[in-house]
Structure 1
Amino acid sequence: MDNLKEWKKQQRQQLIAARESVAEDLHRQWSGAISAFLKQGLAQPQHMTIGIYWPFRGEYDPRPLAAHFLQQGATLALPEVIEKNKPLCFREWLPDMPMKAGAYGIPVPDSSPIVRLDAVIIPMVGFDPQGYRLGYGSGYYDRTLATYERQPLTIGVAFELQRLPNIHPQAHDISMHFVITEAGIFQTREHHLFPALTLQNSGSGSHQQ
C-alpha cells in the first residue's frame, strides 16, 4: 500500500473519534460485556502478574476488574513510559496506591516495584481478522513484548466498531494471542481470529497458564 503511514494515521483519527462518540450507556453496556469475558477467560488468575492500563480517549476501562483479580490472588501492574522509543516498564498497582502524572498525562504508580508480566491486557485503536493490533503509532507495546524470551499472554481489547478488514501489519508487528470485544473472546490461530471460551491454549504453548 502506498503511504501506509498516512493511511494508519487517518484510521487512528477516525477510529478514536468513533470510540469517543459512543453514547455513555452503550459504552457502559459494551464495557460490561468485555469485563464479563475477561472474568470468564481468566478464571484462574492466582499467582499471575497481569498488566492492565489506565484508560485514554474512550477506551474500555479495565480498572473496575481490579478488585476481582486481586481477590483471586493476582498481582496487577500499570505501564510507564520511561523513555521515548524504549520499552515500557510495568509497575505493580493497587487501587489505593499513590500515583503521579506520566507520559500524555496518564497516571502511573509512584515508585512501586517493576514487575514482569504473565499476561497483559492491551488497548487497541483498531484490529483486524488476523489478530493484529493498530495502536497509537509509538510502538511501545511491540518493543516491550520483544524484550520477553517467553511471551506473556497478550489480550487485545476493543469494541467491534474498531474492527478493520486489514491493518497491513509490518515485520515488527506482533499479533495478539486473543482479542476480546463486546461480542466475545477470539483466539488467533494460523493468522485468523476464531471464537474461544477461555484465554488459554492459543496453540503456541509459549504462554499457557
Structure 2
Amino acid sequence: MSRVRDDDDLSCEGGSSPCFMHELEADGTSVVDAQQARDVARWRKAERKRLLGLRLALSAEFRATQAVAIAADLDALIPSREPQIVSVYWPIRAEPDLRPWMRSRSECGTRIALPVALAHGQPLTFREWRPGARLAHGLWRIPYPADGMEVTPTVVLAPVVGFDPQGYRLGYGGGFFDRTLAVLSPRPLVIGLGYPCTAIKTIFPQPHDIPMDWIVTGTLPAYRGASSRMAVSSQPGWV
C-alpha cells in the first residue's frame, strides 16, 4: 500500500498553512482519501518552513540555556545507574545541542550512539559513539562514528521540528525516524526534543506516524505523549 510522505530531503518550501479540520474524520486525525493525504503533506511542508524559521531565529544564548534544561530533564528520565544504549544526534539547523550531555553521560558509563542515514527510503542504523571518535558523514553531511560498532538503542532521542500534545513529531519530512521505529525490536523508549515555540495543536497524524513516549523542551514540563492524551489547553505555549 502506497503512503504519501513529505519530501525526502531537508529543503522546506511552501505557502501558507490552510485549515484541514473539515477534511478529517470525526476523531480529528484520520484523513479521508488520498487527495486529502496530499493536502496534509502540503500543509506539513508549509508548517515545517514556518517552524524552522522560528527555531533559526532563536538566539544562541537561548538555545544554550534550553539545552542545559533539556539535559537536566533527560537525566531524570534516563537514570545513569541503569544500563542503557542511548541514541542521541549530531545537531544541525539550530537543534538542541546535546553534545556536552553526550560526553558527560559517556563518562558516567552510558553507551551513546548516533543515527546513521546513508540512503533515502531506508531505516536508520545506529553506531556507538565515544568522545574523540573519528567521524564520517552521511546524507546531508551529518556526522556519524566512522568506526563505531553497530548497536540497537534502548532509548532514542529524536529532534523535532514541531510537536503536538499527543506526542506526534513533525520532522524534516524524510520519514527516517518513523521508518526506523517501525522495525526496531524491542521498541526503544522514544523522547522527542525541541523548543516550546514549536508546539502546535496537531500535526494531522497519518498511519505511518509514531508518537513519542515523551516530549522534552526544557521549558514546558516533560510529559508523556499519546498514552496520556493531554488536553491542548492544559499546556502553555500551544498555538
- Both proteins in one fold, TM over 0.5: yes
Residue 127 of structure 1 contacts residue 162 of structure 1 at CA under 8 Å; is this kept in 2? Answer: yes
Q: Secondary structure at the match of 1:39?
A: helix
Give the aligned partner of residue 204 of structure 1. none
Give the aligned partner of residue 82 of structure 1. 118
Deviation at 1:99, TM superposition (A): 0.6
**What is the one-letter code of the residue matched to 2:60?**
E
**What is the one-letter code of the residue matched to 1:188?**
G
Please give the alpha-carbon distance, in whole angstroms, between the structure 2 residues aligned to 1:99 and 1:105.
Answer: 11
Deviation at 1:84, TM superposition (A): 1.0
Deviation at 1:150, TM superposition (A): 2.0
Residue 45 of structure 1 contacts residue 69 of structure 1 at CA under 8 Å; is this kept in 2? Answer: no
**What is the one-letter code of the residue matched to 1:94?**
R
Residue 113 of structure 2 contacts residue 151 of structure 2 at CA under 8 Å; is this kept in 1? Answer: yes
Aligned 1:89-100 pairs, distance under 5 A: 89-100=125-136
Give the aligned partner of residue 223 of structure 2. 186
Residue ranges of structure 1 left out of the alignment (5+ in a row): 195-209
* Bigger Cα Rg: 2
Please give the alpha-carbon distance, in whole angstroms, between the structure 2 residues aligned to 1:150 and 1:15.
Answer: 32
Residue ranges of structure 2 left out of the alignment (5+ in a row): 1-19, 21-35, 232-239
Q: Secondary structure at the match of 2:222?
A: strand
**What is the one-letter code of the residue matched to 1:166?**
T
Of 118, 129, 139, 2:175 maps to: 139
Give percent identity, aligned residues only.
Answer: 34
- Structure 1 runs of 4+ aligned residues shifted over 3 Å read none
Deviation at 1:161, TM superposition (A): 0.4
**What is the one-letter code of the residue matched to 2:166?**
Q
Provide Cα deviations, 1:63-82, integer angstroms capped at 9, x if missing partner: 11012211332111101113
Give the aligned partner of residue 186 of structure 2. 150
Q: Secondary structure at the match of 1:29?
A: helix
Q: Identify the range of structure 1 (179-188 vs 127-136) with the bigger mean alpha-carbon deviation.
A: 179-188
Residue 119 of structure 2 contacts residue 139 of structure 2 at CA under 8 Å; is this kept in 1? Answer: no
**What is the one-letter code of the residue matched to 2:207?**
A
Check if 1:44 corresponds to 2:80.
yes
**What is the one-letter code of the residue matched to 1:119?**
V
**Superposition RMSD on alpha carbons, in Å?**
1.5
Please give the alpha-carbon distance, in whole angstroms, between the structure 2 residues aligned to 1:62 and 1:164.
Answer: 23
Q: Secondary structure at the match of 1:192?
A: coil
Please give the alpha-carbon distance, in whole angstroms, between the structure 2 residues aligned to 1:178 and 1:126.
Answer: 14
Aligned length: 194
Of 154, 160, 180, 2:196 maps to: 160
Which of the two has greater strand per residue? 1
Please give the alpha-carbon distance, in whole angstroms, between the structure 1 residues aligned to 2:192 and 2:126.
Answer: 17
Provide Cα deviations, 1:150-177, integer angstroms capped at 9, x if missing partner: 2100000000001001100001100000
Q: Secondary structure at the match of 2:67?
A: helix
Give the aligned partner of residue 96 of structure 2. 60
TM-score by length of 2: 0.77
Residue 168 of structure 2 contacts residue 225 of structure 2 at CA under 8 Å; is this kept in 1? Answer: no
Residue 46 of structure 1 contacts residue 72 of structure 1 at CA under 8 Å; is this kept in 2? Answer: no
**What is the one-letter code of the residue matched to 1:82?**
L
**What is the one-letter code of the residue matched to 1:190?**
S
